[in-house]
Amino acid sequence: MRVVGDWLEAAETQAVLHLLNDAGYDAFCVGGCVRNALLGVPVADVDIATDAEPARVAELAEAAGMKVVPTGIDHGTVTVITNSAPFEVTTYRKDVETDGRRAVIAHTTDITEDAKRRDFTVNALYVQADGTLVDPLGGYPDIEARRIRFIDNPEDRIREDYLRILRFFRFHAWYGADGPDPDGLSACAALADGIDSLSKERIGAEMAKLLSAPNPAPVIATMAGTGILARVIAGADITALAPLIHIEQSLNVPPRWQRRLAALGGNGVARALRLSRKDADHLKKIANVAGAVAQSAYRYGAAATLDAKLIESASLGLSPDPTLLTEVDRGAAAVFPVKAADLMDRMGTGPKLGAELRRLEDLWLQSDFALTKSELMAL
């Protein structure tokens, strides 16, 4: 079978593959680019696997005028950049020792050993420069069935890296059909304690990717049923998530993982998932939104207001007001007409000035932005 795609036929991709092939080494595109191409999903990054040692890869690339960055040299990875296009080139590897978070690896020249250390069969597919598909572990049938299945024994794969529990759910949300693989689901539930050993940053990043899927509600419900969701987000409630996604789709509102996370609720979410300050502030704004839509959009911004109002509708089982999107835009575009400089000749500077600005702004908001500058100054 042959795989086709602009990503594979691109001059930059072909240059790196042929660089290694012409020197007598294996060179395959591998992992997500192959999986996505076979599933008809856009390809973002192209990773390359080879039997050449990292130092040899770097030597060949530099001799060809390509830039080399040792981005993951301890794991056998160098990034080769040609015409501004980066490719992670990784030497075939096998695990020597794992502790559930990180692995000690050794290089190998056996593509099957390299495939066996990967997580899911759909990620263990390789493509040559001419598009020939190489499937060492028989993963292609899982691609056809859109089935996310661990390689060999699921519990062994999970014990190598407990983040694979969350990856199992995330990949199923994005690429799976029907229900999750029963053996994989059973293994995830049995080894859920291992999630506690993971860093909060890794958990948070994985949940963000999962919640960005077109419709993660069924998978999140399965996570809740196994107790895994409660382990990740204590106190989370899935009740509003499916209605929220239905509303998003009915209004053609682009999905936002932060909105969906807020819909789940929970205790200390920003800390539990070690969110960035920006994302944590957004969740806080969503929680603070109350009252009229336009006024909220002025105070808290369009994104937080829209998210809060959509979650509110989903929680109540109601359709949003038909004017919601228009009102959000109207409020976000509103500009308070009075500036501090307009009052300084009367109020001076300091707390008194700030208090008067806030008072006038409140009056302006109560008027639904109708009061003009002159009317406000007269007050």
CATH code: domain of residue 86: 3.30.460.10
* DSSP 8-state class, residue 120: B
Token pair, residue 232, equals 């990740």
Question: Could you tell me if residue 79 is left (phi over 0), alpha (psi between -120 and 50 degrees) or otherwise beta?
Answer: beta
308, amino acid identity:
A
Query: Both 95 and 185 in a single domain?
Result: no
**Which of these, 321, 256, 261, lies nearest to 287 by C-alpha position?**
261
Residue 182 pLDDT greater than 70, yes or no: yes
Token pair, residue 181, equals 């693989």
Query: Both 272 and 372 in a single domain?
Result: no
Query: Both 8 and 130 in a single domain?
Result: yes
Q: What percent of the chain has pLDDT over 70?
A: 97
What is the pLDDT averaged over residues 23-35?
Answer: 97
**Which of these, 266, 256, 281, lies nearest to 230 by C-alpha position?**
266
CA distance 167 to 120: 10
Instruction: Render pLDDT for 224-274 as a digit per residue (tens, 0 to 9).
Output: 999 999 999 999 999 999 999 999 999 999 999 999 999 999 999 999 999
Query: Both 132 and 18 in a single domain?
Result: yes
**Which of these, 163, 288, 94, lies nearest to 296 by C-alpha position?**
288
What is the pLDDT averaged over residues 52-59?
Answer: 95
Query: Both 257 and 151 in a single domain?
Result: no
| 47-50 and 67-72 beta bridge pairing | unpaired
Q: What is the pLDDT of residue 101?
A: 58
Q: What is the pLDDT of residue 360?
A: 87
Instruction: Render pLDDT for 72-103 as a digit per residue (tens, 0 to 9).
Output: 877 889 999 999 999 999 999 887 666 555 66
**Number of structural domains found in the chain:** 4
Beta bridge partners of 48: 29, 89
CA distance 41 to 65: 32
Q: What is the pLDDT of residue 244?
A: 98
Query: Both 316 and 295 in a single domain?
Result: yes
194 or 347: which leads in pLDDT: 194
Query: Both 186 and 204 in a single domain?
Result: yes
Final residue in a domain of this structure, among 145, 173, 199: 145
Final residue in a domain of this structure, among 206, 227, 248: 227
Arithmetic mean of pLDDT over the chain: 93
Q: How close are the terminal C-alpha atoms of the chain, in Å?
A: 77
Task: Say which CATH number the domain at 196 has.
Answer: 1.10.3090.10
Tokens 């682009």 sit on residue: 254
Residue 164 pLDDT greater than 60, yes or no: yes
The length of the chain is: 379
Final residue in a domain of this structure, among 130, 145, 160: 145
φ and ψ of 22, to 5 deg = -65, -20
Chain centroid offset of residue 283 CA: 17
CA distance 237 to 221: 10
CA distance 124 to 35: 9
Query: Both 155 and 102 in a single domain?
Result: no
**Which of these, 128, 142, 280, 129, lies nearest to 204 by C-alpha position?**
280
Query: Both 59 and 127 in a single domain?
Result: yes
Range of the domain at 300: 233-334
Query: Both 259 and 222 in a single domain?
Result: no
Query: Both 23 and 117 in a single domain?
Result: yes
Q: What is the pLDDT of residue 357?
A: 87
Query: Both 51 and 173 in a single domain?
Result: no
